[in-house]
Chain A
Amino acid sequence: MTGHSLFSVRGLACARGDRTLFAGLSLQLDAGEALHVRGPNGLGKTTLLRALCGLSRPLRGDVRWRGERTSDLAEEFAAEVAYVGHLNGVQGELTAAENLERAVRVFARGQDAALGVAAALDRVGLARLATKPARHLSQGQKRRLALARLLVLRRPLWILDEPFTALDVAAVASLSSLIGEHMAGGGLALIVSHQAFELPGIRDFDLAHFCKARS
């Protein structure tokens, strides 16, 4: 009844305080597809992503994963999503490797056969900094560490909020190719970004369509 999309959203409305940000939002995402969510500041892109991964509760609407409501699936759905928000979720007191090891143990469910910690760090270019406390890393390096989490957890749905902030040109390209590989492997991705990046096959999604005329 919701079609056959892996991930589908219908009639979603979200508010911040008492202001409705957007309403009637619908989108569909299937294996191997990615969506680039666009829109000017303050439109509610972050709110949308937080609502989709279950961090905040939408006003109305229906978010389904494999045809079932994500709110009913709860932890089952959480095991399918990897979320990288504005905050990196990197603990300064732990080393880069410890941060990732912890992510594996706290978030990986069962035996996800994913990339090992060392390999993931190598992939994001932090191999040499593995034993450094994360607080000594630069902003961009912390961002890479947060993104390395995507590699150690095998999750079909990636929800990324401004993943390119603080990344240098090479890292932006390498992240785009990572997302490309993820899509090629049947993964889904929802990306909010103001930055232009090249990714074949990604669809644009303009959030402004679902916002009321703003004063």
Chain B
Amino acid sequence: MKGGLLSAMVAVFTRELLVFWRRSTEVMTALVFFVIVTTLFPLAVGPERHELMLMAPGVLWVAALLATTLSLNHLFASDYQDGSLEQLLVSPYPLSALVFAKIAAHWVLTGLPLALLSPLLAVQMALPTKAIGTLVGSLLLGTPILSLIGAVPAALTLGVRGGGVLVSLLVLPLYTPVLIFGAEAVAASAGQGFASVAHLSLLGAFLAVVVSFAPWASSAALRVSLD
């Protein structure tokens, strides 16, 4: 049955990519938000390279975090409305595995493009070139955590009126450690070349914990919401 489960997960993953590819505006929202925020900052703060450089890690990370939060709503919402989520719950495969595939697709569509786009925006924020590698690395490690953690409140608030606001309220406290370590890692490598490795390892450890825990928690949350 192993091959069956894997093939089911791949099917969920690819279908998700296909659906969002055809409904690309939703994916673009997060990315466009990220670009707009990081573009407006230098305009508002002024072109002082030093000031911008100090703020760059924080601004880039906050923008990435909020962009991900924005995109959480359509992780499950449309599947919930058309009934395909209900079908997923009666599938003969472990729900958490299928949910994991969904979250993975969510990351590929939001977190990954954010990370890949960040070097361009980093230049705009006058981040030193030596820190750009760390920025991309920290986003590559951090954004999957954001997608994984965010799936839990997204599942829990399905069908709740005003669920969007609730998701942000629930998710932001959980996001703060990721934000702190992520931004610190970038700041460290932008500054005196302190070891950003420590922060990145912590992010990695966090990711390992969340990978094992979040798919299970969000599938339990889905069962509660759809009961």
Chain A residues with CB under 8 Å of chain B are 53-57, 75-76, 78-79, 81, 83, 85-94, 98, 102-103, 105-107, 109-110, 133
Contacts and interface: CB of A to CB of B under 8 A. Distances in A.
Contacts, number: 80
Contact of A109 (B11, B19, B92): B92
Interface in B33-82: 79, 81-82
Given A55-B90, A107-B92, A85 B18 contact: no
A55 B12 CA distance: 20
15 contacts: A55-B90, A55-B226, A55-B227, A75-B94, A87-B81, A91-B79, A92-B82, A94-B15, A98-B18, A102-B11, A105-B8, A105-B10, A106-B91, A107-B92, A109-B1
A133 B23 CA distance: 12
A86 to B, nearest CB: 7
Contacts of B87: 83, 89, 103, 107
Contacts of A93: 18-19, 22-23
Given A75-B94, A107-B87, 15 more contacts: A55-B89, A55-B226, A75-B93, A86-B83, A89-B86, A89-B87, A90-B83, A91-B15, A92-B82, A94-B15, A105-B8, A105-B11, A106-B98, A107-B91, A109-B1
How many B residues touch the partner, as a band? 20 to 34
Contacts of B28: none
A105 B101 CA distance: 14
B84 A89 contact: yes
Interface of B: 1, 4, 7-8, 10-12, 15, 18-19, 22-23, 79, 81-84, 86-94, 98, 226-227
A109 to B, nearest CB: 5
Nearest to B87: A89
